[in-house]
Amino acid sequence: MSPLYKRRRELAALEERERQGESFWSENFSIETRNRLQLVMQSGAGGGDYRTIEASIRVLLADLGLLSLYKNAHGDSRDQFFRYLAECDDDMVPSVVEAFGKGYERAFEEEAQRQSFFSGQPPQDGRIPIDALLVREINRVLAEDRIAFEYVGGEMVPFASRELHVEVVEPVLRLLATPGWERVEKSYQSALSELARDEGADAITDAGTALQEALSFLGAEGNQLGDLTTSAKSKGIIASHDAPLLQTIDKACRWASADRSNKGDARNADEASREDAWFTVHVVGAILLRLTHTTPRGATPGLPS
């Protein structure tokens, strides 16, 4: 669900401050974030079903080595589970989210086994994955609230363990903050913001724009990324073996542009996924990291332009 007016304004202001170099990413889960996670968990297909929550509690208790979440607990299982989500320590919230995902799968498996027993038919093979919309909404909450985790493959992955984030995004943002790279930084920050909002096609397009701005700043000529890549290669701004990678980014940007044009036709749309955008934005970041060590046109080596 897209944020409403007031929250959109707050997020826009936060993004503007991020473009000025501030960072708001944290591993602390505010009560507002916990509430938003609860609402997401209660919303999806089967997400708020008592069997899902019962299974989630069993997963969590087994992991904690406990028999109950609370002594003399009152209320049904849903009350206890979401009370725990609201009250537990910050470092336990990722475990609660993971327990919910595993409980969701387990509840569907158990239901499939019950249906199989009554129908006399063998249960379908394969595990039931957590609903894609639930995953997307969990990640939307985390990204909008600048929680430094991503829910991937049933696990809450901290940004600190994501090598590309640590080795590429943080260094490139530091380098782009230097004088002369402002337009590049603005486009790349926009790509990161759109990635956080799960706007894959826009994130890819803005990453491509950041690359175009960087090549132009360094002296390449042309209006399109393909032309700029050819010019950069001929001028020695990039090595010959770098050109195919930039051409791949150009193709990704063209595809993303076509994706946006086709969204009105569900039969033709091939939506850019979060994974597509995440890969493109980080590869562009790695390229920018290399390009920031290139001397811009008209600059004296070793001196700022």
- Reported as a single tens digit per residue, the pLDDT across 57-91 is 999 999 999 999 988 767 788 899 999 999 999 99
pLDDT score of 141: 95
Query: What band does 265 get if pLDDT is binned at 50, 70 and 90?
Result: very low
pLDDT over 90 (residue 264): no
> Residue 65: which residues within 8 A CB-CB, separation 6 or more?
none
Q: Which CATH number fits domain 162-291: 3.40.50.10090, 1.20.120.330, 2.60.40.420, 2.40.50.140?
A: 1.20.120.330
- 113-161 pLDDT per residue, tens: 666 666 666 655 544 556 778 888 999 999 999 999 988 878 888 876 5
Identify which of 27, 60, 48, 42 has the alpha carbon closest to the alpha carbon of residue 142: 27
pLDDT score of 11: 92
With beta carbons less than 8 A apart as the criterion, state whether 246 and 229 touch. Answer: yes
Mean pLDDT, rounded, for 35-51: 81
Strands 149-152 and 155-158: antiparallel
pLDDT score of 305: 38
Every domain of the chain and the residues it spans = 24-159, 162-291
With beta carbons less than 8 A apart as the criterion, state whether 72 and 99 touch. Answer: no
pLDDT score of 44: 65
pTM confidence score: 0.62
Identify which of 251, 178, 179 has the alpha carbon closest to the alpha carbon of residue 211: 251
